[in-house]
């Protein structure tokens, strides 16, 4: 069990890199951290399409809040 | 569920939530709502399909193709990674996100419409895609693999031959001409089969796949040369059948189409090469040239149909070498039964063309009975020896015959030899002039119809040439020509026409035979004269001819016989018969040997000529004569017995003074009664049961008027055979067929002998009675005659008596044997004759009687 955990840790970085590249290729605009979180969630059994919808929602929410707030916030929110 | 990760997600995407707890909570509940929904849960996890979707998406956004390559690369690397257990889900997540980012307003195509609408939809998406804002930066096109390969080949000194050059050569090949780089070379001496030789040197290298392609293409060229050569050969040759000629014509027109195709290819080639020149300077090839230009592969596709067509044509050409005429049509027809609609259509067309001359010949044959077939391609062939044989038929009888019926007797005197010669040709002409050649019959006609066609044409031909009824045939032909022509595509119409023509022709043939040539009259005459149907005539003839026939054959003269015949005709009802019938009747003697008397050699004869001898052929006439001979004998016995019975009957009165012979006479009368019974039954059987019954069957056929001349001949033949078989009591056992006939003949001769001895006895009794009369007269003192006690002693009386009794007993035994044989005869009618002869088991009891004793 611990060996398996060790393997995961060693290659997790690599996998994450690949996925990140893919996400960049697909222009998903996720940063590495968020992507890692998402992948973790998916691995734990979250419905991927629903998760995609959630991300979508949250972005929209964030953007709306930014619009309400300052112009800087918008820049930073959209830039992600 | 990992609320912490969700929280971190919210924090990273909506930074405000860090400060605002209410917002955070709200968002978390909302997110959980969304996550717990069942969006797209039912999809199948097919990573290949998904990657295709992704690639398509990528291709839409960035058409350079590099990104999709990159993606493939990444995916393969990802799949190697052991860490993730749900790679598909991750990928799906990325894909969903990507597609939703690009076009967020409509739901992504694969999301079910049932998905709960996000509660924040009301807010307009502000940022659809940041990529849209960026200018479309196309990556500079790198060298494609093919270009790299070409460069490599050029460097290594093995450049591929450019496709344009190969194309040009291939177009030559399609026409059967060798090109610059590829050429045909004969594989063997005959030059029929060819192989392809590629000319390669350092500068030109043709890759294998291209070679294969060229091989495929060159097949068409090879086939083309074959077909072309065939057509050319036939053009120069003479004596080519019409069907073959039309085949050539069709092939030629097909080839013209082919030339047209080649011409189109050529123009395409020059066009594309020109556009290639134009675009040579530019880096990118012209898109139009790419779309429409000629390549080897395109050529292959376009030529594909022609390949099939050429193959069919070359098959036909090959076949035409060995077969010709109807057989060729047959062969082509065998290809119409093909499941491939292309092949079927092609062969149908071909057949339509090729069968035209065949149908021309058929039409002529079917409607006019003329065989116009200079190259012997039709399924009816004519015997060259008989083709031009026509005989002169006396349809207009010369003056002598019509007026004097007496001439009939002498008509036969002139040139028996010629007549025999002509007779032989009558049936032969019908049977052998035209032959049916089954192998030449096209299968689409069918053998039944083929036979009908054959029979129809034969009948017409016969009507025309043998019966000299050309006018009728010509009229018919004109009528039929208006119906339109026969052709392959209208088989049903063809069959209808055949049926009609067949019916009309056979009807006409019957009419000609029965009305023009009075065949029925001749049948009837044969029955009346040769089969003794006219009783009064036969009696008359017997009466007038009888005395002279008892003389030796060499003292008989033909003119006496014919004169007697004439008398018999004139004094009987026979004189009412048409003169044409009477003049054919003739009496003559068969060839005789020493010691034969007139009875043995006399015969009546009925002369038939063309075209009647088609039905009444010489064989039939021989049978008629045979029958006559037997019946005539029977008649003779009958008349002999009649006379004898009259004598014995009247003799009883005369012999009243010889009472000692009374019981002997009684026994003689008993024997005679037995004989009379025998001959009466025989005659009744022959006339009523055999001749009349057979005649009725023949008449039924004649009235039906169905079938053709062959059927008529067959029916007459069976009519005659039936009579021969039954009258002559032909048995079924091989080698002993005539046993019974011989027994009957023996019985006949016994009767004759019996009659002679009875005559002797009668004469003796007559003189004896006269002597006793004169004795009695002398006793009374009246002298009535000279006392002539001559040498007629009781010995001679006894001898005559003994002979009478012997012959009588012999006859009885013979009859018994005949009855016995008849009882086991195969034929039912003959068995009945046996029963009649031995009515009330007369002969059986007679047989048992001596056994009991």
pLDDT of B58-112, one tens digit each? 777 766 667 777 888 888 887 777 777 777 777 888 877 777 665 444 433 443 4
Nearest to A37 among B8, B85, B95 (CB): B8
Residue length of chain B: 853
Question: Which residue bears the tokens 């008397």?
Answer: B597
Report the residue of chain A nearest B126, measured CA to CA: A63
Residue B637 confidence class, pLDDT cut points 50, 70, 90: very high
In this structure, are A57 and A70 located in the same domain? yes
In this structure, are A41 and A76 located in the same domain? no
Q: How far apart are CA B843 and CA B823, in angstroms?
A: 12
- Contact assignment for B14 to A61 by CB distance below 8 Å: yes
B49-58, B226-235, B283-292, B609-618: least confident range: B283-292
- Contact assignment for B14 to A51 by CB distance below 8 Å: no
Residue B601 pLDDT exceeds 80:
yes
- Contact assignment for A28 to B12 by CB distance below 8 Å: no
Residue B406: count of CB within 10 angstroms of its CB: 16
Angle (nearest 5°) at CA B548 between B547 and B550: 70
Asked if residue B329 lies in contact with residue B243, where contact means CB atoms within 8 angstroms, the answer is: yes
pLDDT tens figures, A38-61:
888 888 888 888 888 888 888 888
pLDDT score of B677: 92
Domain count, chain A: 2
Strand blocks (E) in B554-709: 585-589, 602-606
- Contact assignment for A12 to B92 by CB distance below 8 Å: no
- Contact assignment for B70 to A25 by CB distance below 8 Å: yes
Residue B330 pLDDT exceeds 60:
yes
In this structure, are A19 and A51 located in the same domain? no
Closest Cα in chain A, distance from residue B148 (Å) = 27
Instruction: Answer whether the bond into residue B611 is a cis peptide, omega within 30°.
Output: yes
pLDDT score of B485: 63
B103-117, B350-364, B494-508, B690-704: least confident range: B103-117
Nearest to B71 among A15, A25, A53 (CB): A25
pLDDT score of B788: 56
Instruction: Answer whether the bond into residue A54 is a cis peptide, omega within 30°.
Output: no
Across the range B771-792, mean pLDDT stands at 70
* A77–B contact, CB cutoff 8 A: yes
pLDDT score of B29: 83
Nearest to A58 among B27, B78, B131 (CB): B27
Nearest to B27 among A61, A63, A67 (CB): A61
In this structure, are A1 and A39 located in the same domain? yes
Residue B497 confidence class, pLDDT cut points 50, 70, 90: confident
Report the residue of chain B nearest A60, measured CA to CA: B125
Better pLDDT: B633 or B73: B633
In this structure, are A6 and A37 located in the same domain? yes
Nearest to A22 among B1, B94, B127 (CB): B94
Q: How far apart are CA B444 and CA B379, in angstroms?
A: 13
In this structure, are A56 and A66 located in the same domain? yes
Hey, CA dihedral for B793, B796, B800, B803, is it positive or negative?
Answer: positive
Asked if residue A51 lies in contact with residue B111, where contact means CB atoms within 8 angstroms, the answer is: no
Among A56-70, B133-147, B495-509, B612-626, the range of highest mean pLDDT: B612-626
Residue B714: count of CB within 10 angstroms of its CB: 13
In this structure, are A42 and A54 located in the same domain? no
* A70–B contact, CB cutoff 8 A: no
Q: How far apart are CA B829 and CA B401, in angstroms?
A: 42
Better pLDDT: A42 or B325: A42
Residue B634 pLDDT exceeds 60:
yes
pLDDT score of B399: 34
Q: How far apart are CA B616 and CA B719, in angstroms?
A: 12
CA B456 to each of CA B463, B491, B709: distance values in angstroms, whole numbers, following the listed order: 10, 18, 10
pLDDT score of B392: 41
- Residue range(s) defining the domain that contains residue A42: 1-46
Residue B414 pLDDT exceeds 80:
no
ipTM exceeding cut-off 0.90 for this assembly = no
Please provide the average confidence, as pLDDT, over all residues in chain B. 76
In this structure, are A66 and A32 located in the same domain? no
Q: How far apart are CA B316 and CA B764, in angstroms?
A: 97
Question: Which residue bears the tokens 């093909």?
Answer: B338
* B124–A contact, CB cutoff 8 A: no
- DSSP H or E stretch at residue B197: strand B194-198
In this structure, are A58 and A24 located in the same domain? no
Across the range B624-644, mean pLDDT stands at 91
Across the range B427-447, mean pLDDT stands at 76
In this structure, are A52 and A39 located in the same domain? no
Asked if residue B90 lies in contact with residue A19, where contact means CB atoms within 8 angstroms, the answer is: yes
Beta-carbon pairs below 8 A across chains A and B? 185
- Contact assignment for A25 to B89 by CB distance below 8 Å: no
pLDDT score of B747: 92
* B742–A contact, CB cutoff 8 A: no
B89-98, B390-399, B780-789: least confident range: B390-399
Asked if residue B214 lies in contact with residue B196, where contact means CB atoms within 8 angstroms, the answer is: yes
Across the range B186-190, mean pLDDT stands at 55
- Contact assignment for A46 to B30 by CB distance below 8 Å: no
In this structure, are A57 and A30 located in the same domain? no
Taking alpha carbons only, the member of B724, B715, B714, B717 closest to residue B686 is: B724
Asked if residue B51 lies in contact with residue B34, where contact means CB atoms within 8 angstroms, the answer is: no
Across the range B432-436, mean pLDDT stands at 79
The model carries a pTM of 0.59
Hey, CA dihedral for B572, B578, B581, B584, is it positive or negative?
Answer: positive
pLDDT score of B274: 64
Those of residues 16-55 in A touching chain B at CB distance below 8 A are: 18-19, 21-23, 25-31, 33-34, 37-44, 46-55
Residue B473 confidence class, pLDDT cut points 50, 70, 90: low
Residue B791 confidence class, pLDDT cut points 50, 70, 90: low
pLDDT score of B239: 72
Residue B576 pLDDT exceeds 60:
yes
Q: How far apart are CA B33 and CA B17, in angstroms?
A: 18
Among B261-275, B534-548, B742-756, B768-782, the range of highest mean pLDDT: B742-756
Across the range B811-822, mean pLDDT stands at 89
> What 3-state class would DSSP assign to B602?
strand
CA atoms lying within 13 Å on the CB side of residue B607 = 22
Token pair listed for B158:
């093995």
> What 3-state class would DSSP assign to B339?
coil
pLDDT score of B764: 83
Query: For residue B75, which residues of chain A lie inside 8 Å, CB to CB?
Result: 22
- Contact assignment for B81 to A38 by CB distance below 8 Å: no
In this structure, are A39 and A55 located in the same domain? no
CA B124 to each of CA A23, A72, B314, B317, B793: distance values in angstroms, whole numbers, following the listed order: 25, 20, 73, 77, 166
Give B649-679 as a DSSP string: HHHHHHGGG-GGGHHHHHHHHHHHHHHHHHH
- Contact assignment for B40 to A60 by CB distance below 8 Å: no
Nearest to B98 among A27, A31, A41 (CB): A27
* B97–A contact, CB cutoff 8 A: yes
pLDDT score of B574: 82
Across the range B701-730, mean pLDDT stands at 85
């Amino acid at each position: 069990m611990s060996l398996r955990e060790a393997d995961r840790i060693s290659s997790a970085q690599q996998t994450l890199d690949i996925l990140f590249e893919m996400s960049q290729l697909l222009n998903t605009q996720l940063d590495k951290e968020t992507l890692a979180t998402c992948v973790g969630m998916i691995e734990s059994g979250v419905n991927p399409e629903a998760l995609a919808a959630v991300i979508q929602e949250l972005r929209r929410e964030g953007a709306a809040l930014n619009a309400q707030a300052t112009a800087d916030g918008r820049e930073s929110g959209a830039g992600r | 569920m990992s609320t912490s990760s969700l929280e971190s997600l919210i924090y990273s995407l909506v930074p405000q939530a860090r400060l605002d707890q209410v917002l955070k909570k709200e968002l978390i509940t909302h997110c959980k709502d969304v996550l717990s929904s069942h969006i797209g849960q039912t999809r199948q996890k097919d990573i290949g399909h998904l990657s295709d979707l992704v690639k398509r998406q990528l291709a839409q956004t960035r058409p350079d193709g590099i990104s999709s390559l990159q993606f493939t690369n990444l995916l393969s690397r990802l799949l190697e990674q052991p860490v993730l257990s749900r790679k598909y889900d991750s990928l799906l997540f990325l894909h969903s996100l990507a597609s939703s980012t690009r076009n967020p307003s409509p739901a992504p195509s694969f999301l079910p419409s049932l998905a709960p609408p996000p509660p924040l939809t009301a807010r307009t998406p502000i940022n659809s895609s940041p990529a849209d804002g960026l200018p479309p930066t196309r990556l500079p096109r790198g060298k494609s693999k093919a270009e790299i390969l070409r460069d490599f080949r050029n460097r290594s000194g093995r450049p591929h031959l450019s496709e344009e050059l190969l194309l040009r050569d291939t177009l030559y090949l399609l026409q059967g001409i060798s090109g610059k780089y590829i050429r045909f070379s004969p594989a063997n001496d005959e030059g029929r089969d060819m192989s392809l030789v590629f000319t390669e040197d350092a500068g030109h290298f043709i890759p294998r796949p291209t070679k294969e392609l060229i091989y495929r293409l060159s097949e068409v060229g090879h086939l083309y040369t074959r077909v072309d050569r065939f057509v050319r050969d036939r053009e120069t040759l003479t004596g080519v059948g019409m069907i073959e000629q039309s085949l050539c014509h069709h092939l030629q027109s097909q080839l013209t189409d082919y030339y047209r195709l080649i011409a189109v290819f050529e123009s395409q080639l020059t066009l594309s090469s020109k556009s290639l020149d134009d675009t040579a300077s530019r880096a990118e090839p012209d898109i139009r040239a790419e779309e429409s230009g000629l390549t080897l592969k395109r050529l292959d596709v376009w030529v594909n149909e022609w390949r099939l067509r050429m193959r069919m044509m070359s098959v036909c050409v090959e076949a035409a070498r060995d077969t010709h005429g109807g057989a060729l049509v047959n062969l082509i027809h065998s290809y119409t039964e093909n499941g491939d609609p292309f092949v079927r259509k092609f062969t149908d067309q071909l057949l339509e063309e090729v069968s035209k001359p065949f149908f021309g010949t058929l039409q002529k044959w079917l409607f006019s009975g003329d065989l116009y077939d200079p190259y012997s391609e039709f399924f009816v062939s004519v015997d060259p020896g008989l083709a031009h044989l026509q005989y002169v038929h006396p349809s207009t009888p010369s003056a002598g015959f019509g007026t004097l019926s007496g001439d009939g007797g002498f008509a036969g005197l002139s040139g028996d030899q010629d007549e025999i010669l002509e007779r032989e040709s009558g049936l032969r002409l019908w049977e052998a002039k035209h032959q049916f050649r089954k192998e030449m019959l096209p299968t689409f006609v069918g053998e039944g119809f083929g036979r009908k066609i054959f029979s129809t044409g034969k009948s017409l031909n016969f009507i025309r040439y043998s019966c000299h009824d050309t006018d009728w045939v010509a009229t018919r032909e004109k009528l039929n020509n208006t119906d339109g022509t026969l052709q392959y595509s209208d088989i049903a119409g063809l069959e209808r026409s055949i049926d009609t023509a067949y019916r009309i022709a056979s009807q006409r043939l019957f009419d000609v035979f029965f009305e023009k040539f009075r065949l029925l009259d001749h049948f009837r005459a044969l029955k009346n004269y040769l089969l003794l149907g006219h009783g009064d005539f036969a009696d008359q003839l017997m009466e007038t001819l009888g005395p002279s026939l008892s003389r030796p054959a060499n003292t008989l003269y033909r003119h006496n016989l014919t004169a007697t015949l004439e008398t018999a005709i004139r004094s009987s009802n026979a004189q009412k018969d048409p003169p044409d019938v009477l003049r054919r009747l003739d009496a003559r003697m068969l060839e005789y040997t020493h010691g034969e008397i007139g009875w043995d050699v006399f015969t009546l004869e009925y002369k038939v000529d063309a075209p009647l001898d088609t039905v009444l052929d010489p064989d039939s006439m021989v049978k008629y004569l045979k029958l006559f001979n037997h019946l005539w004998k029977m008649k003779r016995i009958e008349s002999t017995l009649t006379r004898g019975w009259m004598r014995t009957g009247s003799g009883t009165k005369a012999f009243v003074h010889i009472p000692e012979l009374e019981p002997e006479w009684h026994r003689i009368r008993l024997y005679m009664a037995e004989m009379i019974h025998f001959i009466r039954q025989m005659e009744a059987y022959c006339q009523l049961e055999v001749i009349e019954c057979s005649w009725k069957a023949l008449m039924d056929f004649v009235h039906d008027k169905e079938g053709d001349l062959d059927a008529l001949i067959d029916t007459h033949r069976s009519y005659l055979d039936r009579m021969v078989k039954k009258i002559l009591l032909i048995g079924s056992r091989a080698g002993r067929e005539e046993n019974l006939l011989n027994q009957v003949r023996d019985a006949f001769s016994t009767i004759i002998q019996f009659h002679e001895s009875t005559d002797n006895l009668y004469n003796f009794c007559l003189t004896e009675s006269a002597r006793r009369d004169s004795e009695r007269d002398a006793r009374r003192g009246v002298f009535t005659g000279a006392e002539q006690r001559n040498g007629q002693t009781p010995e001679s009386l006894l001898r005559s008596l003994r002979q009478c009794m012997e012959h009588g007993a012999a006859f009885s035994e013979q009859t018994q044997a005949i009855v016995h044989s008849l009882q086991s005869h195969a034929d039912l009618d003959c068995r009945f004759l046996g029963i009649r002869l031995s009515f009330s088991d007369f002969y059986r009891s007679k047989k048992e009687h001596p056994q009991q004793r």
